[in-house]
Amino acid sequence: MMPSDPIAPIWLVLPLALIALVVQAGYLIALKELPKGMMPASRKRIRTASSWMSMFVIPLSAYGFGIATMDDPGLFTIVWMMVIGLIAGILMLAGLDAVNTLRLHRRAKQGLKAEYRQSLRLTKPVFEDEDE
C-alpha cells in the first residue's frame, strides 16, 4: 500500500510558498509601476503573463507538495498535471521573451545603423586638399 503522507511537510512548504508568492507579487507590482517607455510594451506583456502564471503555479505546487496525498490519486494526478502544464506555459513564454528580445535588438541595431549613416552624410569631410 502507498503511503498517505504528502511529499514534503506542510510546515516547510507553505512558508516557502508564501515567500515565493510575496516576491512574485512584488515583481508584478514593480512591473506594473514601471514608467512608460522604460520597457518595451511587448516585453512587458510577456513578462506580465508569465508572472500571472507563476502566481497560479506557486500555490498549486505548494498544494501538490505539502497537502495532496496518494489517498486520492485522481486529485493528486490532476494537481501535478496542472503544475506541469503551467510550468510548460511559463517556459514557452520565456522562449517567446528570448525571441522578442532578439527582434528588439535587431530593430535597435538597424536604427543605430541608419542614424550613423545619416550622421556621416551630414558631416563635412575632415581632409582638405593640401595643394590649395
pLDDT at residue 1, as a whole number? 44
pLDDT at residue 11, as a whole number? 96
Q: Is the pLDDT of residue 130 over 90?
A: no
- Helix 73-122 and helix 41-66, axial crossing angle in degrees, nearest 10: 160
* Mean local confidence (pLDDT), 17-36: 96
Q: What are phi and psi of 67, to 5 degrees?
A: -125, -45
> pLDDT of 59-92, one tens digit each?
999 999 999 999 999 999 999 999 999 999 999 9
> pLDDT of 101-125, one tens digit each?
999 999 999 999 988 888 888 876 6
pLDDT at residue 12, as a whole number? 96
Cα 69 versus chain centre, distance: 31
pTM: 0.82
DSSP 5-21: S-SS-HHHHHHHHHHHH
Contact between 90 and 46 under an 8 Å Cβ cutoff? The reply is no
* Mean local confidence (pLDDT), 45-65: 97
pLDDT at residue 83, as a whole number? 98
Percentage of the chain exceeding pLDDT 90? 80
pLDDT at residue 125, as a whole number? 64
